[in-house]
Amino acid sequence: MTIRRAKIICTLGPASDSPEALVELIEAGMNVARLNFSHGSHEEHGERIRRVRAAADLCRKEVAILQDLCGPKIRTGRFEGGTLSLERGQEVALAETSNANAVADESTVLIQYPGLADDLHVGDVLLLDDGRVNIEVVEAGGGKLRARCTQAGTLRDKVGVHIPADRVRIETLTEKDKLDLSFGLSQGIDFVALSFVRSAAEVRLVRDICEAWGRPTPVVAKLETPQAIEHLEPIILASDAVMVARGDLGVEFPPEHVPVIQRKILGLARLHQRPAIVATEMMQSMVTAQRPTRAEASDVATAVFDGADAVMLSGETAMGNHPALVVRMMHRIIVEAEQSSFYRPSGSRAVAERTRVAESIARGACEIAKSVGAKVLVAFTESGSTARFASGARPTAAIIGLSPNVKTLRQLCLLWGIVPMYVEHLRDSDEMIQRAHALLLANGFVAPGDSFVAVFGAPVGVAGTTNAIQVKVVE
């Protein structure tokens, strides 16, 4: 049986909302469903969450839900007819609006940002719609702004607006984000992603809110601002996982810098044992096309070779013509890369001189599995830590994460190499090994004569007590 190590995150949207489409995505290989809270109402997202849970139950597979908070995303208002075409050299007025549905005439661009006239100066360049259209401020004063188009294009309603990062005064966690986070926690989300992170303190604030709710939830830091790259290591250490958000990185930095930044983030994430996600335009042509470009296939494979725990699809699955086809293609590219002779995943090493017992045991189990040629490493885990440590070691054996805790199983969906499977609460280690033996055989992970390595804790059922390894030959 071929087990894909790197995980696939799919953004949900109109193209993937139906129960049938969700089942197709899960069967094609989706591990994590991303809900983009930049769009949609709480009612719509609540229905999505229910449909994902129902589809996962139908497929008998674990699927995590990632809530992606909007953050201080600055957007335009609306345009007459839904679009505005700007020619190079054309001038427009810029006006602040607090009404997201306000409609401007053809000579004005409305921008949803308080204090716009105070924060922009002559010579500032604004990048609209991820840099597809650029305008430069040519007049500022008296509360009025005018700008000249320097890169032509057509704008749609409510596209993103990039203002020089050092001018933005909006808090990373906006009031909208706080309301959205409260809603997400009430719905039982498995991960929360914080957009436009600038400091470790912002990540800790989100964690504190989750804990105050009584629902501790892993926080994913989206790295997409110059401040985040400047304070990269503290942010990674404060986070449970990180995302290389290349859309806004490509706006904030010259395109030639983005691949280098991506590799830097992945390297530090591996060093500090934090899962890393590579996102944005991985298979963008497949929004409409039925095959990716060669460059896109190479991009996915490169992320795998560089050690990413997960790769993410955005518009391809949210509004593309064939979401499940895209996931199947991404699955095939990942598997081909992982089975090649060029794939040599390096395990992370703890920075501290001494490691925790549970981590040492998990790493030892990985070494034993390699030395005895075990097909599978079974990690019995209550909180997920044992499986997470095993994943960090990047073993050659597949990792089966067994847990009676459904929340833990869903959170394992993001981690490299782990197949999460439910197992009931067991009484002792002998019963655990027997149950693992039966599950592995029944699901085709092993055959008679194969061996597997189990790592677990005693006393059984107590979180954080991983202290035992056992090798079992399949009968």
pTM of the model: 0.91
Domains of the chain: 7-72+171-338 (3.20.20.60), 78-167 (2.40.33.10), 357-473 (3.40.1380.20)
Question: Exposed, middle or buried by CB within 10 Å (0-12, 13-18, 19+), for 302?
Answer: middle
**Is 293 a known active-site residue?**
no
- For residue range 189-214, list pLDDT tens digits in order: 999 999 999 999 999 999 999 999 99
Which residues, 6+ apart, have CB-to-CB distance to 127 below 8 Å? Answer: 133, 134, 161, 162, 251
Residue 461: predicted pLDDT? 62
Residue 355 has pLDDT above 80, yes or no: no
Q: If you search the block for the tokens 């009430």, which residue do you land on?
A: 186
Strands (E) across 142-199 are located at 144-151, 153-156, 161-162, 191-194
- For residue range 383-430, list pLDDT tens digits in order: 999 999 999 999 999 999 999 999 999 999 999 999 999 999 888 888
Catalytic residue among 7, 34, 78, 394: 34
**Is 280 a known active-site residue?**
yes
pLDDT band at 162 (very low <50, low <70, confident <90, very high): confident
- 376 HSE (CA, 13 A, CB side): 31
**Is 75 a known active-site residue?**
yes
**Is 34 a known active-site residue?**
yes
Catalytic residue among 11, 280, 317, 408: 280
Catalytic residue among 51, 158, 198, 222: 222
- For residue range 431-447, list pLDDT tens digits in order: 999 999 999 999 999 99
Q: Answer positive or negative: Cα dihedral of 339, 343, 344, 347.
A: negative
Longest Cα separation, the chain: 83
- For residue range 38-79, list pLDDT tens digits in order: 889 999 999 999 999 999 999 999 999 999 999 988 889 999
CB 263 within 8 A of CB 247: no
Catalytic residue among 75, 375, 410, 472: 75
